[in-house]
């Protein structure tokens, strides 16, 4: 009998008692119940990761926006500065002093003021006058050729005598003269390019177009 009971127990151990089955079922249910609790953990991690990524993205776009904003502000400031402080071209004064009459020898074309002020001071035939160094054809600056005793324009070949009258090339008229006079305070020669005199208009007769010298 005893041995049969042992056999029975070992038989139930192998086959599982209803109690054990119930406990197993309960344990399995508990496991199943616990499984969904783990799922939110994974979701949270994913959400956290997503948040991390989206935060990184946000900062990237913010950086791009900031750079764009800074560039736009820089452009505005630059335009404003250009408006307030425009590029200024240096223009030599139209009226200037060139020295005393005795500084200009008879028969000389003085080129000292051609580059700086755009005139030649000429002492010729008892007169001192200031010739504007602009070709009356199309506006190139002619050169004084001492050896040939003439002004010659390098652009199209117009030529002028020492007194400014044209004699060759395409130019239709003589060089122009600027106003010239003596400053009564210091006796210096003043040239004023804002007033010009044209030979063909009879303006070289005007006493403001030359200074008499002896
Ligand atoms: S510009 Fe002087 S000859 Fe034409």
Q: Of 84, 105, 125, at which residue does a domain stop?
A: 84
Q: What is the pLDDT of residue 61?
A: 79
Atom of ligand 1 nearest to the CA of 169: 3
3-state secondary structure of 111: coil
Give me Rg for the CA atoms of the chain.
52
Q: What is the pLDDT of residue 4?
A: 42
**How far is 51 from 208, CA to CA, in rounded Å?**
88
* Same domain, yes or no: 9 and 101: no
Atom of ligand 1 nearest to the CA of 153: 2
Query: Within a domain: residue 90?
Result: no
Atom of ligand 1 nearest to the CA of 171: 3
Give the range of the structural domain holding residue 24, as residue numbers without chain letter: 2-84
Q: In whole angstroms, what separates CA 169 from the centre of its chain?
A: 41
Task: Give the CATH number for residue 113.
Answer: 2.102.10.10
Query: Within a domain: residue 205?
Result: yes
Query: Within a domain: residue 89?
Result: no
Task: Walk along the chain (214 residues) and give the pLDDT tens digit of each residue.
Answer: 444 444 444 444 445 555 665 565 555 544 554 444 444 556 666 666 666 656 667 667 788 788 888 888 777 677 777 767 666 667 778 999 999 999 999 999 999 999 999 999 999 999 999 999 999 999 999 999 999 999 999 999 999 999 999 999 999 999 999 999 999 999 999 999 999 999 999 999 999 999 999 7
Q: What is the pLDDT of residue 114?
A: 97
**How far is 65 from 126, CA to CA, in rounded Å?**
76
Q: What is the pLDDT of residue 195?
A: 98
Element containing residue 179 per DSSP (H, E) = strand 177-182
> What is the count of structural domains for the chain?
2
Ligand 1 contacts (CB < 6 A) are 135, 137-140, 153, 155-158, 169-171
Query: What are the percentages of helix, strand and coil residues in the chain, rounded to 5?
Result: 45, 20, 30
Closest CA to ligand 1's atom 3:
156
* Same domain, yes or no: 47 and 104: no
Q: Of 35, 50, 84, at which residue does a domain stop?
A: 84
Q: What is the pLDDT of residue 11?
A: 43
């Amino acid at each position: 009998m005893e041995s049969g009971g042992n056999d029975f127990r070992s038989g139930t151990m192998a086959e599982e008692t209803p109690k054990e089955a119930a406990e197993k079922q309960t344990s399995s249910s508990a496991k199943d119940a616990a499984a969904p609790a783990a799922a939110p953990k994974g979701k949270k991690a994913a959400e956290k990761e997503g948040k991390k990524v989206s935060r990184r993205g946000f900062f990237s776009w913010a950086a791009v926006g900031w750079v764009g904003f800074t560039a736009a502000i820089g452009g505005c400031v630059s335009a404003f500065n250009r408006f307030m402080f425009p590029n200024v071209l240096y223009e030599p004064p139209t009226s200037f002093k060139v020295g005393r009459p005795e500084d200009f020898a008879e028969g000389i074309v003085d080129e000292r003021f051609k580059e700086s002020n755009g005139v030649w001071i000429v002492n010729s035939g008892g007169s001192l006058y200031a010739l504007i160094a602009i070709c009356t054809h199309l506006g190139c600056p002619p050169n004084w050729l001492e050896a040939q005793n003439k002004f010659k324009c390098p652009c199209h070949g117009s030529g002028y005598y020492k007194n400014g009258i044209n004699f060759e090339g395409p130019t239709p008229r003589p060089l122009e003269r600027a106003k010239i006079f003596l400053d009564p305070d210091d006796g210096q020669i003043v040239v004023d390019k804002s007033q010009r005199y044209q030979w063909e208009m009879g303006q070289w007769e005007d006493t403001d177009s030359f200074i008499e010298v002896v």
